[in-house]
Amino acid sequence: MSFEKNSFKVVKKKRLQKSEFNVECNIPVDGEINKIFSVCHTAMVENVEVLSGVVNYNGNIDFCILYEASNGEILTNNYSCPFSSKIEDEKITVGDKVQVEVEVVDFSIDSATNSNIKINCLLMQKGVIISCYDIETIDTNDEDICSKKEEIYLSTFIGEASEVFTATSEVSIKEPVKKVILCDTSVSVKNVECGNNFVSVTGEVIGRLLYLTENDRYETSYINENFKEEVELEGVTRNSVAEAFVNIKRNQVKCDVVEQDRGVIVKLDIPVCLKVCAFEEKPCSVIRDIYSCREDIEISTESFDMTKELNQDFFETKIDGTLNLGEEHPRVDKLMFVAGTNLTISNSYIQNGELYVEGVAKANVVYLNDEENSLHSVTMEVPFVVSDKASVTCDNPEISISAVLYDVDVIAKKGRDLYFDGKLKIHARYDCDEICAVITSANLTGDTIERDCSVELIYAKSGMEAWDIAKQFKVREEVLMIQNPEVVFPLAEDTNVVVYYQKTN
pLDDT tens sequence across 263-277: 899 999 999 999 999
The answer, yes or no, to whether residue 2 has pLDDT greater than 90, is no
Instruction: Determine the Cα–Cα distance for residues 489 and 77; give it in Å rounded to an integer.
Output: 78
Of 438, 395, 396, which is closest to residue 152 (Cα–Cα)?
438
Helix intervals (H) in 191-235 = none
The answer, yes or no, to whether residue 505 has pLDDT greater than 50, is no
pLDDT tens sequence across 122-172: 999 999 999 999 999 999 888 889 999 999 999 999 999 999 999 999 999
Cα 206 to Cα 15, 47, 136, 341: the distances in Å are 30, 26, 49, 13
Phi/psi at 232 (nearest 5 deg)? -75, 130
Q: Which of 216-220, 383-387, 433-437 has the highest mean pLDDT?
A: 383-387
Instruction: Give the mean pLDDT of 295-311.
Output: 89
- Give the pLDDT score at 448: 67
Q: Measured over all CA atoms, what is the biggest interatomic distance in the chain, rounded to whole angstroms? A: 116
The answer, yes or no, to whether residue 32 has pLDDT greater than 90, is no
Instruction: Give the mean pLDDT of 394-402.
Output: 91
- H/E segment holding residue 160: strand 145-173
The answer, yes or no, to whether residue 312 has pLDDT greater than 60, is yes
Instruction: Determine the Cα–Cα distance for residues 159 and 175; give it in Å rounded to an integer.
Output: 50
The answer, yes or no, to whether residue 491 has pLDDT greater than 60, is yes
Q: Contact, 199 vs 193, CB < 8 A? A: yes
Instruction: Determine the Cα–Cα distance for residues 303 and 269; give it in Å rounded to an integer.
Output: 51
Instruction: Determine the Cα–Cα distance for residues 387 and 405; give it in Å rounded to an integer.
Output: 15
Instruction: Determine the Cα–Cα distance for residues 423 and 426; give it in Å rounded to an integer.
Output: 10
Lowest mean pLDDT among 375-389, 442-456, 488-502: 442-456
Q: Per residue, what are the HEC states of 179-212?
A: EEEEEEEEEEEEEEEEECCEEEEEEEEEEEEEEE
Residues above pLDDT 70, as percent of the chain: 98
pLDDT tens sequence across 246-257: 999 988 999 999
Q: Give the 3-state secondary structure of residue 368.
A: strand
Q: Per residue, what are the HEC states of 296-364?
A: EEEEEEEEEEEEEEEEEEEEEEEEEEEEECCCCCCCCCEEEEEEEEEEEEEEEEEECCEEEEEEEEEEE
At residue 3 the predicted structure's pLDDT band, cuts being 50, 70 and 90, is: confident
- H/E segment holding residue 441: strand 417-448
The answer, yes or no, to whether residue 15 has pLDDT greater than 80, is yes
First to last CA, the chain: 25
Instruction: Give the mean pLDDT of 173-180.
Output: 92
Instruction: Determine the Cα–Cα distance for residues 273 and 46; give it in Å rounded to an integer.
Output: 10
Of 310, 323, 321, 388, which is closest to residue 355 (Cα–Cα)?
388
Instruction: Determine the Cα–Cα distance for residues 357 and 380; give it in Å rounded to an integer.
Output: 20
Q: Give the 3-state secondary structure of residue 393.
A: coil
Instruction: Determine the Cα–Cα distance for residues 199 and 293; give it in Å rounded to an integer.
Output: 51
In DSSP terms, which residues pair with 192 in a beta bridge? 201
Q: Give the 3-state secondary structure of residue 403.
A: strand
- Give the pLDDT score at 503: 58
Residues above pLDDT 90, as percent of the chain: 74
Instruction: Determine the Cα–Cα distance for residues 487 and 496; give it in Å rounded to an integer.
Output: 9
Instruction: Determine the Cα–Cα distance for residues 188 and 404; give it in Å rounded to an integer.
Output: 7
- Give the pLDDT score at 326: 86
Instruction: Determine the Cα–Cα distance for residues 32 and 323; give it in Å rounded to an integer.
Output: 31
pLDDT tens sequence across 42-75: 999 999 999 999 999 999 999 999 999 988 889 9
The answer, yes or no, to whether residue 383 has pLDDT greater than 90, is yes
Instruction: Determine the Cα–Cα distance for residues 209 and 171; give it in Å rounded to an integer.
Output: 9
- H/E segment holding residue 144: none
Average pLDDT, rounded, for the chain: 91
The b-or-e profile of 147-162 (16+ CB within 10 A means b, else e) is: beeeebebbbbbebbe
Contacts of 73 (CB under 8 A, 6+ apart): none
- Give the pLDDT score at 466: 93
Cα 503 to Cα 60, 383, 446, 455, 457: the distances in Å are 80, 81, 20, 10, 17
pLDDT tens sequence across 444-489: 887 766 777 788 888 889 999 999 999 988 889 999 999 999 999 9
Instruction: Determine the Cα–Cα distance for residues 18 and 15; give it in Å rounded to an integer.
Output: 9
Half-sphere exposure of 161 (CA within 13 A, CB side): 18
